[in-house]
Every structure is written in C-alpha cells, then in structure tokens.
Chains A and B, each alone.
Chain A
Amino acid sequence: MKRNAHVRGTGAALPLVAGTLRTARTFGVRRAAGARGAPVTVAAAVALGAAVVLGAASPAAAQTYAIRGGTVHTLAGEPFVGTVVIRDGRIAAAGPDMEAPAGAEVVDAAGRHVYPGLFDAVSRLGLTEIGAVGVTNDAREQGGFNPHLQAATAIHPASELIPVARANGIAATLSAPQGGAVAGQASLVGLDGWTVEEMLIDPGAAMVVNYPSLAGGFRDRREWSERRERYDEAVARLDEWLDAARDYQRAVEAGAAARRDLKLEAAAQILDGGMPVLLAANGDRDIRNAVEWARGRGLDFAVAGGRGAWKIADWLAERDVPVILGPTQSMPTGPDESYAEAYANPGRLHAAGVRIAFATFTAADSRTLPYEAAQAVPYGLPRGAALAAITKNAAEMLGFDDRLGTLQEGRIANVIVTDGDPLAIRTRVTELFILGRRVSTDNRHRSLYERYRARPGRRVPR
C-alpha cells in the first residue's frame, strides 16, 4: 500500500486530515507498508494537501491506444516488432502479432522504435524556471533540516521547461529539492498534467540527504583539523535528528507525543527503509562515509552524484550500493586525473557490477539526459546498459519499478516512439505518451523557431 494513500492514524495526538485525502486509484503498490515495519504517516499527503489521483482527472487517459508496427524495446526482454496497447493510463499489453483492441486509436509506428519514456532520475523540473531570477527558484528552502518539505508542493505544471524536456523523450522524473543537510522529499512525476495532481505518481518518493563532505571546496582555506571538526559536527547533527525522529515515532506509537512535529514525523519515514534516501555524495571518500553511515542507520538509499565512485567500484558492488550518476559530461575530479575520468566512470561501475542510473540534476538541461548516458558508451558502457540507466534502473533502485521503467503490462504508460536509438543525437521523438495520455512534442523552442522562421525579411545571399 502506498504510504500516503494508506491513511492510518499513528496516534491519538495525530489529527487526521482525511478530508483532504482521497484514497482514489493510485498506481500500484510500492511495498506493503507493514512488510518492512515501515512507519506509516500522513505527513507526505498532508504536505501536499491531497493524495494522488493520477490519471483520473484527465479524460485523455481514458483513451485506448495501440502503437503498431514499431520495433518495441520493452527493456524487459528482447526487442520485437509488434504492438503496445495503452489503456486507462497503463500498458495493457505489449507483444508481437497483436491486434489493436476495438475502439483503440491506432498509432502507426512502422519503421520506428518504441521505448519506455526516459526517466531523469533527479531533476529540478517544475521547481525552477530561470536560474538567475531567484524568485523563480523553489528548489531550495532555508534551514538545514527540511524533511517535511515536498517538491510537489512547488512544482509548477505550466513550466516552459517541462515540454522542452519532454520533446526529447523525458517522460518522468524525480523532481528534487536541494540544499541543507536534509533538503526535503523528491516527488515522482510524469511530465504532463494540467495540475500537479495530474502529474504526480508519488509526492514523497525519496528523501534528499546531502551527506556532509570532508572535501575542501573551491577557495576553502580552512585547515584540515577544522574541516574535520565541522564534518564531525555535521554528522552528529544528522544523527541527532534521526535519533529524535526515532524517539518521536516511538512516542507517537505509545500515544505519548505531546504535539505533532511535522519535521520529525517526516524524518521518521526514512527510518527502517520506509522511504528511500537520495544520498548525495561525490568524492570517493565522501561516498564511503555516506554509505557507511546510511547502512549503519538501516536506510534504504541510493547514492546521488557519484563522480568519484569509480575509485571504489568494487567496494560499492560488494555492498550492492546503487548509484545515480550526475552528468557524464563533467570535468575530471582533479588536475592530474585523466581527461576521460568522468566519461569512463559509468562504464567502470557497470563493469564492476554496480547498478547505475543517470540524472541531470537540472531543469533546463533535462533534455540532454540521453547524451549523458551516451557519452559513456565510447568509454566502456554497453549501449543496452546506457539505455537501461535512463529508463528502468532508477525505478528499480528506488522501489517503483512495479510502476515505471519498462513496457511491461500494468506499468504506467510512459512510452516514446522514435526514429532511432534515443542515445543518438539525430534521433527524433515522434510520439509521446505520458501517464497514458498522448502528449504533443510542441514546446516553446519549436514555436519560437516556427514563428521566427516565418518572419518575412530580406535574405542576404552569402
């Protein structure tokens, strides 16, 4: 049962706001709430003000589609030429030699390819519009400990950046807050909807924890002992918060909590693996420290960032630590590192057996997600692994692979039709289905292009 849909009182002191909650259809069951002893709270839903009613509000989602004749890459088996049927927002069927169901709108994909929609594992889509204009940036809140804040509260469904990302095949993302030690909850959204409610798959899909770093930053003139001291203090603070959350949880369960504390209530969700943690860390030492800490606290987590992960690839593989990688097209971690360090990082992790996914951690550049994966291919990452790392891997890491990531029956219908490999620059996305709805690839860029291309004017021959 989905946490925020499972409205169970966690104590007498906890006033339910059931009036604002609807337990209407949600997509799938992430994991049984009781199965892992996960605490169940309503914090996530309260923060959002409404539970998820994905798809129900959108008439288009009721439409049945049959995408026919394309090469179907389900990411759950070998590709085949066949049909994908979308009904009620989900993949109803996918296979060769299938008839389109009666009443289905047939989409001719002959000569084209059908893939799961691409998944930008961490982005700021909807949370920011124009980088330099502070008031259009809602990804970062004040204070260092904001586990109760949810990205979905601030996601702007009319952001011009969303259709731009979508036009290159990005169908879903974890839109994540940033800053502080605990930035808040990342929300899992499909990139289409008149309202955020129509976009939401899971408002509290993961908790963003920026594990303290021992690395001296740019222009960091502090001496080592001071850096070390600050680090120890930061880790101690993080531990204190989790301890407090645990105490609070017990108090609530015992009916002894004096009053409701939204922060602790939310923080308690990550205890015992109840909500996965996006554990931000980049340097190899920072990753090790973060991983050891998170394992010690019994958290369910994926490392987010991972620039230096290749240096400890075997260590990560032994512990089955998944890594959500930032841009492959980034600079080496030091002046003496190989030019190709970042390019080779994904391939090395993959070869060592580490599960990887890609993320842009941006909004405006989310459309370049497939290129971040493709960049790793000439430097050792197999193409298939690259594709998996921008479709299904993150869903598996964070526990929503029963809903997203492949073209298997029952999955949310995020589907793209292309004229080639999504990893290739020249490939175009010709059809887009998000949350079962057929979505146009139009966007601000195309309309500006068409408008100014049509500008009458004097052409000067060169």
Chain B
Amino acid sequence: MKNRAPALLAGLALAPATLDAQPRPARPDVPGLYAIANARVVTVSGDTLENGTVVMEEGLITAVGAGVDVPAGARVIDGTGRTVYPGLIDALTTLGHGQEPEPGAAAPGGGGGDGGRPHAWGPEDRPGTTTWLTAADDLDAGDERFARWREAGFTSVVSTRHEGLAPGQAAVLNLGSFERPRELVVAGPVAMRVNLQDRSRTYSGFPGSAMGVFAYLKQLYYDAAHHGDVWADYEEAPRGRRRPEWDGALEPIRRQLDEGWPVLFPASSRSDVVRALATTAEMGVRPVVYGAHGAWEAADLLAAGGAPVLVSLDWPAPPRDRDPDEVPALAELRRYDRAPTTPAALAAAGVPFAFYAGGLDDPSEALPAVRRAVAQGLSADDAVRALTLSAAEIFGVDDRLGSIETGKIANLIVTGGDLLDEGAAVETVFVDGERFETAGAPDASAEEDGDGGEGGSEPRHRTGPAGDPAAPPVPLAADRGPYRDDPVTFIAGATLLTASRGTIENGDVLVRDGRIAAVGTGLEPPPGATVVDAAGQYVTPGIIDAHSHLAALSINEGSVNVSSMVTIEDVIRPEDVGMYRALAGGVTTINVLHGSANPVGGGNAVLKLRWGADAGGLLLGAHPGIKFARGENTTRDRNPDRYPGSRMGVQDVIRQAFLDAGAYLAEWDAYRAGDGLRPAPRRDLKLERLGEVLRGERWVHAHSYRGDEILQLLRLAEEFGFTIRTLQHVLEGYKVADEIAAHGAGASTFSDWWAYKVEAFDAIPHNAALMTERGVLVSINSDSGEEIRHLNQEAAKTMKWGGLDEEAALRLVTLNPAMQLGIDDRVGSLDEGKDADLTIWEGHPLSMFGKPVQTYVDGKLYFDVELDRGRQAAIEAEKQAHLAKLGLRPKAEEDR
C-alpha cells in the first residue's frame, strides 16, 4: 500500500458527519476528591492489598497503596470489610444504540421488488453496511440500560451498533451520568464489528447465504484497501486524470487497516472458529472472536491464531416451554453442558478473553453466570481479570481502564464481599470518579425490599442451570474420528472389484501408511499387520460422489445470476453427520457443489470423508471447480425478478460473464506488464474465479438437463476456448452423447430419477449406459444425503437398464468420477500406490444385498458395522447422562 497525503487522512476520518449538534453543556461540578481507606483492594494488575487505600481526584486514580496518605479535603469512605475492584467492563454491548430498525423498513434509495426494500445486486451495493457509524456518536439518551448496567457493577462497556453485516465501529463508553454524553467516550473506534447473519435485512438480494456473507466480507476489505490506494494515487497528481469513485463505506475500513484495530467476528463452534480465522486472515485484520459458547473445543486454534475471545455470559439452556418427550440433539446437549467450561479452557490455553452479557436482559445475571464458569474450573483471578483488565487489553485501553493503578480512570466498584461469592453485593460504583450508590448498598437494600430494581427482566425463556453447577461436565462419547489407525492393514481373501482391471477372486490388499501397497492373490501379511479376514466378502475402491451438498452451511447464493464470488470452501461444515452416514454407505470422497439457482454458481470443495477432521483436513486438494447451471432452476420465477427468465437469457448471462472476466484478466495483464507506478486493479472475486476458468485453472461442473441446453453450453465454452469438465445431471445427455464425447466433457447423472420437472420428463434410466456406449466418461451421483448412501445400487441399475457389465457399472461410482474430478491418480481404483480408500462389503456391492461392513479412508478405519454399534450406544449413554444432569425426563425404557 502506498503512502497517502496526510491531509487526506484527516479529512477522511471525519467523513460522515455524525458529531453531536448540541452545544457543549456547562460542566456542573468537578468530580470530588475521594479516598477509600482500609479496604481490601484487588488491583488486578498487581498484588491485592489486604488493607489499602485508593485515592481519586479529578476522575483519575491518584494513589493506591497500603500506606497512602489521605489528602486533605478528601471525602473518606471507610472500606473496612469492603473490597474494591476495578469497575467491570462489559466487553460487547449495544448500549446507547438499542433501537433496532423496523423489520423491512425502507432504507433510502430503495426501489427493489421486495416490499420496497432496496435490492443488493452484489458486494458493490454494500448491503447491511454502515461502517462509518461509530458507537461513540449519536448515543441514545433514553437508553435506560446505562443505569441498570452501572447498578450491576459495570462502569464501562464496549458498544456497537448491531444491525447489518458491517454495522460500524465499536467504542468504549463509561457509564457515568448522561448529562455529558460526549464525555462518556473513553476511546473512539476500537474495533469494527461484523455479523454473519443480518437480522434486520433492510435490503433484499445479496448476500442470500452464509457463503455470500463470507465472500462479501472478503470483497469489502479488498475493496477498502484498493480504495485507499486509488485515492492516494489520485491525490498525488489529480490534474488531467479522471477521479476515482468515492465510497464512504470503505474509508473507515481503510482507516482500520492502517491503524490496526481488530474486527469483531462471531464464532461459536470449532468450525466457526476455523472460518473466523481463515476469513479474517483474508480480510487482513486481527480477529476478536465473540460468542464463543463452543470455544471449549477450539482453544488450541484460538491460541495458535492469536485471537482474543469475548465470551457471552448468556449460557445456553433448554427452553422452558419445551416438548417434554423431545430429546435435544447431542450437539445441543453438549452446548448446554460445556459452554460454561469455555472460559477455563481458554485460560488453560493462554487465550486472552473477556466477558460480555450477551443476550442477558438483566445485567445482574452476569455475575452468577461468571460464577458458573468458576464452578467449572475458571480461577477466581482469571474471572475477575476477564471482567476488567483483559477486556481493556483486548480493546487497547488498558492504559486507562481495567485495573486499579495510579493515573488510570477512576472506575471502581466497592463490594460487600468477594465479587465471586454468592450474594456479594455491589454497594458503590465510581465512574470517572463520580460516586453512585446502588441498591446493593447497605442503606438502600432496606428500602428496596429486595425487589431487584427497576426494569426487572422478563421471565427467561430458558431454564436455568439444574443441579450442582460445579458438577463436572458429562464425559464426551467418542462420536467422531477413525475407529482405528493402523500403520499396516492386510485385507485377506476377498473378492476384489478393482474398477481398473477386473475382478480378483480370493485376493488380498496390503495397506501401508495410508496407501495401497499391494493388491493380488496369495500375498503374505507382513509382521505386525492388522489382518482383516474378508473371506466371502467383497472389496471395492471407496465410492466417489461427483455431486453432493453434504457438509456445507449453505448451498445456493441465488440472489444474483452470477455468484462466482462465493465458494463452498468458505462454508465447510465438518459437523455434518451426513458424512458419517455416507461412509456407512461405502463413500469416501465427495464433490460438494454450489446449487443450481443461477447460471454461474460458486466454487466447489472436493472432500475426503475424514469424519472428525476440521475443514482443512477434509479437503482432498483437487483441482478447483465451479458450478454452472442451466434450465428450469435458473429461469423459474423469483422475487424480485432476476434475469434470466429463459434459456436464451441463461446463455447471455454466461457469455457476458466471460466477456467481463476476459476484460478483467486483460486489465491485470496490462498492470503486470506495466511500470508498477499505478495502483493494482481492483481485485474482484467474482471475475477472478471466472478468469481462472478461462485459463484452465478452474473446471466447470454444469448442472443441465435438456439436450439442447447441454449443446448450447458446450458451444459457448468452445467459443471461449475451454472445455466443460462435467455436465451434472445431464438427464438428456443420451440425446447428444456424441456431441458431449466430441467436446470431451464428462457426464454425471442420476440412476433413475425422472418426471419431477418438465426437463426431467425425458430422463431415462438407460442414460448412463447409453452415454458410456457413445464414449462419454460417465459417473452416477447422488445430489442427496440419502441417495449417497447406496450409490453402489444406483450404479448396479445400469446393468439392468442399458446392459453395462459389472466393471463398467462399478466405475460409474469409483474410477470415472475420480477421473472427472482429476483425482484418479489418488483414488478410484484398487491399484498400488493409490490412497487406501476402500470399502469391504458383505454381499455383492452391485446388488440390493451388498452391505458395507468397513470403510477406510487413507488406510484409517472410518466405518465399521460392529464398532458402529458401540459408538451408537456411547452416544445414547451420553445423551441420557445429559438428560439426568439437566433433570429432564429420560426417554422411557419401553420406548426402546
């Protein structure tokens, strides 16, 4: 990035005019001179003083110590029997900005087709983005939460607006009296918040999926960096040059990038954390993860990624009004049980973290929630630190807040006992040296009659913790990962259906270090090998599904007709038990594709079913691909109207997209060939991926049904000089089989689905066989979490409908899809040197009676029909233990 003119920086920092318009009020009085003497002082940053004194003057801490002199004129508070802490910090709130927009409220510049909301046609429309808003401005004077939070012991909060995808900048506020709103601001922008879900949705259209959100955030940050570059370049020599376009949404991000403030990024589960770290790395910003109820299983990643964490104190619990017979899913039960262990896990891993009240309506529930974390192993010191100094450190304000040190802001609380003791009351709160008595003060409590103060919370919709909060968490059943990982496995005496060179009767397979080391007859097991007696059984290569939608958070970004900016890789969902179920059907590799809502979809992800691995560990490393689509799914009515509405338009959209991509490549080529004095062109994720297609670096997998639309796509690809890698579904492929073969596209089809759409009415179960006969490389895919579990049967149907032989049929779900995905050097047949991805079957796999008994990926045993029972029992036992602990009705014995 180039240097910018300083003058420009100054101007930009003020960009959107949101300064208070009110005249500065007269300051009523100077905060008093206070001394709290003879108290226990928990400084947090240093030693705890058992009998110390804290002196405050002009809103600052001026002295702390055991033998400190109390200055003359100070109001002295006798702290005998009291403890003084730094004021608590709620590390993420919306205080001062609680008003959510009306759902669907029209934003200026509207005119889309969806109820008057403006329609976002892509990242350039900056959907849900108000990065220029800072929580330091426009504080809502009517927000009654300031007083309630203060009452609960919070003297500072980090506040943000929260509507939208990039709602704005976080600021640190002190919760003093509100006559002087501007003086509440302790620090201006300290972070930029992003959300992955936009609950307000004041616009329609893009992004319409989780994938779209990730793509958007990346593009937004690329654009911000680029915006800074082009303006700096322009400012250097504006004369005679066309000025760049101004974008007020980007300047605050550019400033963030320059100044290095972090981004607040939501993440709960381990896979959320993986996505947060990967995405923020691409955005070029430091992440601060918030939410984090599942971070107990991601502490290692957070430590390695150097990401601090804001833990929500709104611990999950079963809803009060719940179906008494319904047993929550294990993942849900684990969340209830484990979320409060997150702080201890983070502390153990050395991850900096702070607390925030999260969805708690009543801030007085925050300390009990912290106590629950302490009961689950968090040390008292770490708990207090997380409520004070850690929060200040994470937001870079530990030079003024978070501990009791001379020179810091006089934010203190005085409690009747240890803060973490049950029933400990916050009696007095000092904010900026200003004293506030609370309902917990000895004098006040008598009057309040234990009512809990104003704004009492609604009855909670969730149950509280049941039983002993210190009870250890329920031990985790081993529900993921391989059953065995033997260095050497010897499968003996099976019928081997190799998929590459016929059937080997009474054959053996030697697996070593994850690869197939030998295939043949009469082999001897090496010493130490795990021997699997497979006599009477069958071995095939692991099944490969060339078209799956498993293991993804979202499938379609259908809001726009070209969504090549998105990719499945951004939203891999390793928790999807569908992968294990596919393993139980003998499947070892899947091609996870974007859906078919639009002519140009998003990137794909070829995964090996290493059940239990993180997203990165699932990726096979295949050649990148992208989904295209033709036909009814792309043209049917949508709201608002989205071009195209006909097959003519589909062709046009794809052609125009490639013309744009070609121009984009040319722009970059010219830049690279140039003198480097001009800024680089804008990086455009959408065109970048299409450019990769033009350069053969990314393969097209094209959803298509009708023969004519298949032909049109082949011709269009030829026009742009590339080859369609696979036609997906291609139900009328048999009508244009010669043309497909001549083009060189593969075809991946269904076995026998038909008649669900007009374009599926000429689908015939002979399609795969007929195309094979005509020289097309054919596979059979599932496109379904159910069908994937018996692709072997679907392949066998081609023997009945079209007369393929066994080997040709088996290849449809093994070697052929491997070739289509360009991974046949790794998988797809029982050949030496290939990855040991294989399935052992009881009963012939090309029949209705073949049942997978073992499935290996990389030589590791990921499915075993016997061991599965033990795993299933362990899962059930863990669920019952959770139910007992929660005091929920265990499932009646008679039900089983």
Binding site for B on A (CB under 8 A): 129-133, 160-161, 164, 214, 216, 223-225, 227, 284-285, 311-312, 315, 329-332, 334-336, 338-340, 363-365, 367-368, 371, 374-375, 377-379, 423-428, 444-446, 448-449, 452-453, 455, 457-462
- Cα distance A228–B678 in the bound complex, in angstroms: 67
With contacts A336-B875, A364-B753, A459-B738 known, is A445 near B764, CB below 8 A? yes
**Chain A residues whose C-beta falls within 8 Å of the C-beta of B875 in the assembled complex:** 336
With contacts A311-B896, A448-B762 known, is A425 near B755, CB below 8 A? no
**Chain B residues whose C-beta falls within 8 Å of the C-beta of A133 in the assembled complex:** 757-758
B849 at the interface (CB under 8 A from A): yes
Contact B755–A368 (Cβ < 8 Å): no
B689 at the interface (CB under 8 A from A): no
**Chain A residues whose C-beta falls within 8 Å of the C-beta of B708 in the assembled complex:** none
Chain B residues 762-808 with CB under 8 Å of chain A are 762, 764-766, 770, 773-777, 785-787, 789-790, 793, 796-797, 799-802
- Name A374's contact: one of B786, B848, B872 (CB within 8 Å): B848
Contact A378–B581 (Cβ < 8 Å): no
Contact B329–A336 (Cβ < 8 Å): yes
- Cα distance A160–B761 in the bound complex, in angstroms: 9
**Chain B residues whose C-beta falls within 8 Å of the C-beta of A445 in the assembled complex:** 754, 764-766, 801
Interface centre among B321, B584, B755, B790 (most CB of A within 10 A): B755
**Chain B residues whose C-beta falls within 8 Å of the C-beta of A330 in the assembled complex:** 786
**Chain A residues whose C-beta falls within 8 Å of the C-beta of B868 in the assembled complex:** 338-339
- Cα distance A227–B786 in the bound complex, in angstroms: 29
With contacts A378-B851, A445-B765 known, is A364 near B756, CB below 8 A? yes
In the complex, residue of chain A having the shortest beta-carbon distance to the beta carbon of B799: A426
In the complex, residue of chain A having the shortest beta-carbon distance to the beta carbon of B849: A378
Contact B319–A223 (Cβ < 8 Å): yes
- Cα distance A42–B753 in the bound complex, in angstroms: 40
**Chain A residues whose C-beta falls within 8 Å of the C-beta of B580 in the assembled complex:** 339
Contact A379–B755 (Cβ < 8 Å): no
Q: Determine how close the nearest CB of chain B comes to the CB of A422; give it in whole angstroms.
A: 10
**Chain A residues whose C-beta falls within 8 Å of the C-beta of B785 in the assembled complex:** 331
Q: Determine how close the nearest CB of chain B comes to the CB of A445; give it in whole angstroms.
A: 4
In the complex, residue of chain A having the shortest beta-carbon distance to the beta carbon of B741: A460
- Can you list the 5 inter-chain pairs with the closest CB atoms, starting with the nearest? A374-B848, A364-B755, A378-B851, A457-B738, A131-B756
Contact B757–A130 (Cβ < 8 Å): yes
**Chain B residues whose C-beta falls within 8 Å of the C-beta of A368 in the assembled complex:** 752
In the complex, residue of chain A having the shortest beta-carbon distance to the beta carbon of B323: A224
- Cα distance A34–B265 in the bound complex, in angstroms: 74
Contact A452–B329 (Cβ < 8 Å): no
**Chain B residues whose C-beta falls within 8 Å of the C-beta of A462 in the assembled complex:** 741, 775-777
**Chain A residues whose C-beta falls within 8 Å of the C-beta of B324 in the assembled complex:** 224
Contact B848–A129 (Cβ < 8 Å): no
Q: Determine how close the nearest CB of chain A comes to the CB of B852; give it in whole angstroms.
A: 10
Tally the A-B contacts, defined by beta carbons under 8 Å: 155
Contact B848–A448 (Cβ < 8 Å): no
- Name B756's contact: one of A130, A377, A457 (CB within 8 Å): A130
Contact A227–B323 (Cβ < 8 Å): yes
B879 at the interface (CB under 8 A from A): yes
- Cα distance A453–B774 in the bound complex, in angstroms: 9
- Cα distance A224–B319 in the bound complex, in angstroms: 9
- Name B321's contact: one of A223, A371, A457 (CB within 8 Å): A223
Chain B residues 796-840 with CB under 8 Å of chain A are 796-797, 799-802
- Cα distance A84–B793 in the bound complex, in angstroms: 32
- Cα distance A139–B756 in the bound complex, in angstroms: 15
- Cα distance A230–B632 in the bound complex, in angstroms: 37
B325 at the interface (CB under 8 A from A): yes
- Chain B contact patch, size range: 35 or more
Contact A130–B755 (Cβ < 8 Å): yes
**Chain A residues whose C-beta falls within 8 Å of the C-beta of B330 in the assembled complex:** 335-336
Contact B896–A452 (Cβ < 8 Å): no
B735 at the interface (CB under 8 A from A): yes
With contacts A332-B581, A336-B330 known, is A449 near B757, CB below 8 A? no
**Chain A residues whose C-beta falls within 8 Å of the C-beta of B584 in the assembled complex:** 339-340
Q: Determine how close the nearest CB of chain B comes to the CB of A419; give it in whole angstroms.
A: 10
B842 at the interface (CB under 8 A from A): yes
- Cα distance A458–B329 in the bound complex, in angstroms: 56
Q: Determine how close the nearest CB of chain B comes to the CB of A192; give it in whole angstroms.
A: 19
Contact B800–A426 (Cβ < 8 Å): yes
**Chain A residues whose C-beta falls within 8 Å of the C-beta of B842 in the assembled complex:** 378
Contact A425–B802 (Cβ < 8 Å): no
Of the A-B pairs whose beta carbons lie under 8 Å apart in the complex, a sample of 18, sorted by A's number, is: A130-B756, A223-B321, A331-B581, A332-B581, A335-B330, A339-B581, A340-B584, A365-B753, A368-B752, A374-B849, A377-B848, A378-B850, A379-B851, A426-B799, A448-B762, A448-B764, A449-B770, A457-B737
Contact B753–A371 (Cβ < 8 Å): no
In the complex, residue of chain A having the shortest beta-carbon distance to the beta carbon of B744: A460
**Chain B residues whose C-beta falls within 8 Å of the C-beta of A161 in the assembled complex:** 755
B80 at the interface (CB under 8 A from A): no
Contact B765–A371 (Cβ < 8 Å): no
Contact A453–B770 (Cβ < 8 Å): yes
B331 at the interface (CB under 8 A from A): yes
**Chain B residues whose C-beta falls within 8 Å of the C-beta of A335 in the assembled complex:** 329-331, 577
- Name B755's contact: one of A131, A223, A311, A377 (CB within 8 Å): A131
With contacts A224-B322, A449-B770, A462-B775 known, is A331 near B848, CB below 8 A? no
**Chain A residues whose C-beta falls within 8 Å of the C-beta of B797 in the assembled complex:** 425
Chain B residues 714-737 with CB under 8 Å of chain A are 734-735, 737
Q: A312-B895, A449-B770 are in contact. List 16 more A-B contacts (CB 8 A).
A: A130-B756, A223-B319, A223-B321, A224-B324, A311-B895, A331-B786, A335-B330, A338-B868, A339-B584, A364-B756, A371-B848, A378-B850, A379-B851, A425-B796, A448-B762, A457-B738
**Chain A residues whose C-beta falls within 8 Å of the C-beta of B770 in the assembled complex:** 449, 452-453
Contact A329–B786 (Cβ < 8 Å): yes
Chain B residues 301-333 with CB under 8 Å of chain A are 319, 321-326, 329-331
- Cα distance A80–B329 in the bound complex, in angstroms: 52
**Chain A residues whose C-beta falls within 8 Å of the C-beta of B738 in the assembled complex:** 455, 457-460
Q: Determine how close the nearest CB of chain B comes to the CB of A349; give it in whole angstroms.
A: 14
**Chain B residues whose C-beta falls within 8 Å of the C-beta of A455 in the assembled complex:** 735, 738
Contact A132–B632 (Cβ < 8 Å): yes
With contacts A330-B786, A335-B331, A457-B774 known, is A375 near B848, CB below 8 A? yes
B742 at the interface (CB under 8 A from A): yes
**Chain A residues whose C-beta falls within 8 Å of the C-beta of B632 in the assembled complex:** 132
**Chain B residues whose C-beta falls within 8 Å of the C-beta of A338 in the assembled complex:** 868, 872
**Chain B residues whose C-beta falls within 8 Å of the C-beta of A131 in the assembled complex:** 755-757
- Name A425's contact: one of B325, B847, B895 (CB within 8 Å): B847
Contact A425–B793 (Cβ < 8 Å): yes
In the complex, residue of chain B having the shortest beta-carbon distance to the beta carbon of A314: B894
B843 at the interface (CB under 8 A from A): yes
**Chain A residues whose C-beta falls within 8 Å of the C-beta of B326 in the assembled complex:** 216
- Cα distance A356–B849 in the bound complex, in angstroms: 20
- Name A449's contact: one of B581, B764, B846, B851 (CB within 8 Å): B764
**Chain A residues whose C-beta falls within 8 Å of the C-beta of B777 in the assembled complex:** 462
- Name B323's contact: one of A129, A216, A367, A426 (CB within 8 Å): A216
- Cα distance A371–B843 in the bound complex, in angstroms: 15
- Cα distance A338–B756 in the bound complex, in angstroms: 30
- Cα distance A284–B325 in the bound complex, in angstroms: 11
Interface centre among A315, A378, A444 (most CB of B within 10 A): A378
Contact A132–B323 (Cβ < 8 Å): no
Q: Determine how close the nearest CB of chain A comes to the CB of B267; give it in whole angstroms.
A: 21
Contact A367–B793 (Cβ < 8 Å): no
**Chain B residues whose C-beta falls within 8 Å of the C-beta of A428 in the assembled complex:** 800
With contacts A335-B331, A426-B800, A460-B738 known, is A132 near B757, CB below 8 A? yes
- Cα distance A448–B789 in the bound complex, in angstroms: 29
With contacts A132-B632, A330-B786, A445-B765 known, is A423 near B895, CB below 8 A? no
Chain B residues 473-528 with CB under 8 Å of chain A are none
Q: Determine how close the nearest CB of chain B comes to the CB of A441; give it in whole angstroms.
A: 12
**Chain B residues whose C-beta falls within 8 Å of the C-beta of A311 in the assembled complex:** 895-896
In the complex, residue of chain A having the shortest beta-carbon distance to the beta carbon of B583: A339
**Chain A residues whose C-beta falls within 8 Å of the C-beta of B776 in the assembled complex:** 462
With contacts A339-B584, A378-B843 known, is A225 near B321, CB below 8 A? yes
